[in-house]
Amino acid sequence: RTQYQEKPVTVLLDCGYSVPPRFWQLGLDVETLDGIWISHFHADHAFGVPPLLVRFWEERRKKDLYFLGQKGIESFVLKCLDLAYPNFLPRLEFSLRFVEVEP
């Protein structure tokens, strides 16, 4: 018999430019966020991801971070990160996980 226990998760809906400074202004712990849902691939919905990831690295986040979005979410997020901070991904001490979802 397998027991299953539900636990709450915290998912951010989109991560535009203003999200990283607001995240820190609120004083949230870097381990609080379980995932980021990118609704569509426009800058105002996703270009806050690279600075958010850098800050998570600076704060020594260890917990994996999930990205949910349409087909191509992994490629999109990794391209954004590499454009903003080339060759930064290997420095992360946590894994980025990607889940493609359909409406």
In the chain, where the domains are located = 11-100
- Looking at residue 87, its pLDDT comes to 97
- Looking at residue 102, its pLDDT comes to 87
- Looking at residue 1, its pLDDT comes to 47
- Looking at residue 7, its pLDDT comes to 83
| Total-model pTM | 0.90
Q: Mean pLDDT per 10-residue run, the chain (103 residues)?
A: 71 96 93 97 98 97 98 98 98 98 85
Start-to-end CA span in the chain (Å): 33
Q: Residue 8: CB partners within 8 Å, gap ≥ 6? A: none
The secondary structure of residue 43, as a DSSP letter, is H
CATH of 11-100, one of 1.10.150.120, 3.60.15.10, 3.10.20.30, 3.40.50.2000: 3.60.15.10
d(CA 66, CA 37): 8
